[in-house]
Structure 1
């Protein structure tokens, strides 16, 4: 296993940055403001922010001409993301939840225009053409965002303002029949601005059955009620159709069949309708005070199929080989509603913010059989016909959140700003199973906080630090698994406690001049501890020993330590460089209950693996994984991008993205080698007429056609040969060299 150098070397790295900064005395910071918010980005500044944050402008996103959000976020230190196909992206921060891959929440709060959004799979999707800014807050962030902000938050603000007045048309084409079309119309006057935008992205995809299409309609109306207040209404509606194939089983298939023509994914054919609507009122009051009110609703209606059909309902059952034959239809409806309010007051000695967060979320699962079928070739009476139309799942969950949060900022001495945050959440879960006439409920009270400080070493250099917390409440399925499915192998545990995370970090940020070039920099060392980690007593994705019941308990733990550095040279220069580096060591601090499953999990259990017949039997090897490295957490990640402007209007961008090796499994037996990928972008921008613009670009990803894996994961003997090795892991192979070209006109 890998072992890190620990905090002494990390502190030395931070000290090196400090030495280069050329610090000097600084004056009093003057009026103090509270910039923290979960609603808007109008307070964005980093001068006295005590946490490690990173902001990407919408202009940068637009100029990058990317196809998915991962291509943008890879330039943010501390972030790893799992991208498969169809624009499906799961975001991880500082190693939290990198080991899970079957639709669990990522431990990161995602907020778009004040709306906390997440889809049923834990993934996030956003219209890339409608981004004003992306702000990443790293470390426990529940003090602002509540549940699931174990490792941080990603806050996205969509486009708005008078700058969108006029018309814009865009068209792009690329590899695998990738196409994008966009049209936008905007209006601006002295007392209002508004715009509406429609777009479509679609592709046949590189992988078998990986085609997707995403249609978006979004817009915003901002009305300036008077000189000190405005009212903003925003909406985004989308329909996405995507398949999910792309995984191959084992390194041999990754070499011989990288597009995965063989096999059938368990879940496919997604039809997703999303709707986001919000109304925000902002009022600036006398004396540096401000009031924000926000009401929102986020809808997710997802339909998809699961469970490939293997046998017909005939006697005897016949084998089914049709790749599109599935047994179960799933209809999932999620509605998130909420109201927030934030009141803040600025001052020369102290500033504060008080806020209220009320949520009312509902989740409805409905499943039924699509065809007549049998589950095995056995003619036994224990293998009855499952009939099409039979409802096999119908349940409803209501989640209510009542929370108050706030922040106090004050200056106990010149140049030093101290920040205290606190949040109290009351979460209530109500569950009803309509088929079993079952009702269950559970509630939690959770407190989150942050203590931080910022010291101005110079007019342009600050040292900052904080201790912050995050939490995640148990789910209904973890609490009441045995009650909901009494014939299953998992027992209920209504005594589960919320998971907790504790983040500590120390950083240095500011501006300096090195080599005659102005730089912005932000460097931080951190340690994130996760406790009361909810895990199965059988381990991840495994089975309990025969005769025993599995149960979710607060029995896991993990720790991440690392160093993050972001440096950006002056973008106005002919040559501009951006550097993002992450050193990350993530390990399990408690994990003594892992069962490695060998053989056929649907076969007969045998206690002795030495006599295993893997085709018809399975056995379990008990392991203690405490101290193991968390899967899919490369120890080093370096992203470099260089912008070169050879002539007026022309920009050439080169990017290098490099990862060190990483383990794909929790036992740390299978390691994927390091990889370095180069991307290139050529862009030409010009103006014509009084205020019209045109832009043309060509982008090439993976210029040298590097062969590597987008993601790899494994936890058991997938090919049922009695051995867990590289032939058992699930792999998504990178498509290789990909090109995109496009033209946009604004007038």
Structure 2
């Protein structure tokens, strides 16, 4: 059993006391229930009778936020945290404190699903054209019962804009801080049984940080074909060309203060990233009865990326390379992945019983080749080998094939009580070939995931729900290559929640509150290990367990007296339940090892691994308290202001709970003006103008902080000490502005 403090139970008790007028003896007739869950189509009305916490954001709400990245869209959802990697789109989403603990580039345990396609992004970031989002739904808790691998803590389901049954053209232009510029053109057309949509958008920015310019061009094309009154065919295509340079990292708090733009600071781990993304899917839908339907989707997602990585610390002669040598990187990597798959779903209702069944087949292929960008050494030692320019340091091909079947059963026990059960079985086959050594490896995993839940209607305004759900993630082939006994990670999420609509101080208010307890078992990361001869090696292993528990509350009011409000609050207690074997590197982690800190005479060529037991330490970058409050003031019919306060309490930056990230509160202000004017032709055009100010008080804070070991400073020299000067930090740009005009005619 799991333990939750009694104080967590106050939330549902308070909400239930507001509305305790449940009349159990009212006559009723059993209603017809429907399964809303789908791994193909997003059904936002699944909010009702759903025994899991989920949040839906409409396309109109997304457009009104005028966001530059998905972090700005999701920060109003309780339980969501995210790391920002410089200006623009480098965002990694985390849910309920479930996250790998050490590096920027690790998967966050959140499934990203775009139009039914499970997008695998190696570093966990979300690459999508923000102007092409129709809606976002966030499902919290283990969600592998529907979305499969990597849904350890939940899923972000994105539905892109599709063809509309209308004819119009939209033009959009925006300007902003640091050379930000956006241009957009979209058009809808509709004729009889066929409708279509085309969109082109371009974004670019010079970036606040030195060498942080980035740009993107996106193309999308959509068609809807009504084959008959009850069958449809949809085609979606999206292509995105991305370029992002550095992320603005500095090394340590002194550099963060003296050089926040990172002009003379350190070099980030990667630079000069070019990405070409292409995604398409074809969906067939057939309604074979009033309550039954069939959906079939085929898809392909392709990612071709090249980038520089690993700043050179010592050149081919063993001399230290200063961080002012901005182009001194060890590797050039060319990476290509292709995801293909087919899904089939059938659902039907039988009075108070509803069933959904699905099949999911995926074939994911990955290829990469890494070559040395220049001559370099890992250590200044004269005995350290030289890696010469052009040397192929790694080359591999990997495949991951998934065969899965999943189902949902929903049963109306009474007119007030709905039971839900989900089950999914995945057979995952991994194959790997190292093209340099010709070594081959393969692994197979058979994994089950499930959900059980209940929703109880107390009145027509209030219901309570409770559920247990699971999530999983298999080890990657690169992790298995270091240790073939690594087991999959698993999560189990327990949740009790309340949904209600109540008048509060005169405002009609929607309330969703929940308490949760999530256990993550066998999480995987790299460890330092020694063989009997004393030789050192780094491998991946299941090193411990994590507990995340807390309270989430979301409030949203209707408009009254020209005002409305939104509130999202999270209390999160996320800590290591077991983590007894962590080694922190002091000195050059690739240097020769010494057995005590006193023997660390030359940290540039030596290393001492200090042992820690991190049990009960807080998980890094998981603030205990998070709150987002938005006030919408409708001054006139066509004009309204939104003021947003976003708060994060302090947290730790490392696994040993030594270096703290300070609390911060941001104030953001947006002014929107919407009206209809005669601009072109004989009909009115829709006009939307906005001005947005982020961080209006110009508060300086760190948008991302990580720490894991002693690191070389600005001169590329190790000092053998781990402290706040070894943190990898990205300083937020401070106050920024953007303004734009949209015309739809």
Q: TM-score range by the shorter chain?
A: over 0.9
Residue of structure 1 in register with 2:245 after alignment: 243
| SS in structure 2 of the partner of residue 736 of structure 1 | coil
Over 3 Å counting, the alpha-carbon distance change for 1:624 and 1:311 in structure 2 is closer
| CA offsets 1:219-250 (integer angstroms, 9 cap, x no match) | 21111111111110001001000113311111
Counterpart CA distance in 2 for 1:270 and 1:7 is 46
Q: Shift of the alpha carbon at 1:536?
A: 3.5
| SS in structure 1 of the partner of residue 726 of structure 2 | coil
Check whether the contact 1:544–1:550 (CA below 8 A) recurs between aligned residues. no
Residue of structure 1 in register with 2:226 after alignment: 224
Residue of structure 1 in register with 2:575 after alignment: 587
Counterpart CA distance in 2 for 1:28 and 1:47 is 18
Residue of structure 2 in register with 1:204 after alignment: 206
Residue of structure 2 in register with 1:189 after alignment: 191
Counterpart CA distance in 1 for 2:106 and 2:644 is 31
Q: Shift of the alpha carbon at 1:546?
A: 5.3
Q: How many residues align?
A: 728
Structure 2 residues not aligned, in runs of 5+: 713-717
| SS in structure 2 of the partner of residue 44 of structure 1 | helix
Residue of structure 2 in register with 1:636 after alignment: 625
| SS in structure 2 of the partner of residue 45 of structure 1 | helix
Check whether the contact 1:108–1:152 (CA below 8 A) recurs between aligned residues. yes
Residue of structure 2 in register with 1:361 after alignment: 364
Over 3 Å counting, the alpha-carbon distance change for 1:350 and 1:176 in structure 2 is same
Counterpart CA distance in 2 for 1:453 and 1:135 is 21
Residue of structure 2 in register with 1:559 after alignment: 547
Residue of structure 1 in register with 2:492 after alignment: 502
Which residue of 316, 340, 345 corresponds with 1:342? 345
Q: Shift of the alpha carbon at 1:367?
A: 1.4
Check whether the contact 1:599–1:613 (CA below 8 A) recurs between aligned residues. no
| CA offsets 1:483-508 (integer angstroms, 9 cap, x no match) | xxxxxxxxx3x222211100000000
Counterpart CA distance in 2 for 1:548 and 1:371 is 27
Check whether the contact 2:246–2:272 (CA below 8 A) recurs between aligned residues. yes
Residue of structure 2 in register with 1:489 after alignment: none
Counterpart CA distance in 1 for 2:199 and 2:532 is 52
Over 3 Å counting, the alpha-carbon distance change for 1:682 and 1:601 in structure 2 is same
The yes-or-no answer on 1:323 pairing with 2:313 is no
Structure 1 residues not aligned, in runs of 5+: 482-491
Check whether the contact 2:247–2:730 (CA below 8 A) recurs between aligned residues. no
| CA offsets 1:286-344 (integer angstroms, 9 cap, x no match) | 2410111111000110001123345665x797968531233421100011100001100
The yes-or-no answer on 1:604 pairing with 2:592 is yes
Q: Shift of the alpha carbon at 1:394?
A: 1.4
Which residue of 693, 702, 726 corresponds with 2:686? 693
Residue of structure 2 in register with 1:487 after alignment: none
Deviates more, 1:336-345 or 1:569-578: 569-578
Residue of structure 2 in register with 1:308 after alignment: 311
Residue of structure 2 in register with 1:19 after alignment: 17
Check whether the contact 1:47–1:462 (CA below 8 A) recurs between aligned residues. no
| CA offsets 1:461-503 (integer angstroms, 9 cap, x no match) | 110110000001111122122xxxxxxxxxx3x2222111000
Q: Shift of the alpha carbon at 1:649?
A: 0.5
Over 3 Å counting, the alpha-carbon distance change for 1:611 and 1:389 in structure 2 is closer
Residue of structure 2 in register with 1:521 after alignment: 511
Deviates more, 1:14-23 or 1:395-404: 14-23
Which residue of 728, 735, 738 corresponds with 2:736? 738
Which residue of 79, 93, 96 corresponds with 2:98? 96
Counterpart CA distance in 2 for 1:22 and 1:187 is 51
The yes-or-no answer on 1:717 pairing with 2:715 is no
Residue of structure 1 in register with 2:391 after alignment: 390
Check whether the contact 2:339–2:363 (CA below 8 A) recurs between aligned residues. yes
TM-score by length of 1: 0.94
Residue of structure 2 in register with 1:9 after alignment: 7
Deviates more, 1:315-324 or 1:122-131: 315-324
Counterpart CA distance in 1 for 2:63 and 2:284 is 28
Q: Shift of the alpha carbon at 1:376?
A: 5.5
| SS in structure 1 of the partner of residue 725 of structure 2 | coil
Counterpart CA distance in 2 for 1:133 and 1:567 is 19
Over 3 Å counting, the alpha-carbon distance change for 1:334 and 1:279 in structure 2 is same
| SS in structure 1 of the partner of residue 327 of structure 2 | coil
Q: Shift of the alpha carbon at 1:534?
A: 2.3
User: Counterparts of 1:409-488 in structure 2 under 5 Å?
Assistant: 409-481=410-482
TM-score by length of 2: 0.94
Over 3 Å counting, the alpha-carbon distance change for 1:440 and 1:425 in structure 2 is same
Over 3 Å counting, the alpha-carbon distance change for 1:246 and 1:28 in structure 2 is farther
Over 3 Å counting, the alpha-carbon distance change for 1:545 and 1:107 in structure 2 is farther
User: Counterparts of 1:610-649 in structure 2 under 5 Å?
Assistant: 610-613=598-601, 615-616=603-604, 617-649=606-638
Q: What RMSD, in angstroms, separates the aligned Cα atoms of the two structures? A: 2.2
| CA offsets 1:527-554 (integer angstroms, 9 cap, x no match) | 0001122243439xx9999534444333
Residue of structure 2 in register with 1:485 after alignment: none
Counterpart CA distance in 2 for 1:292 and 1:244 is 43
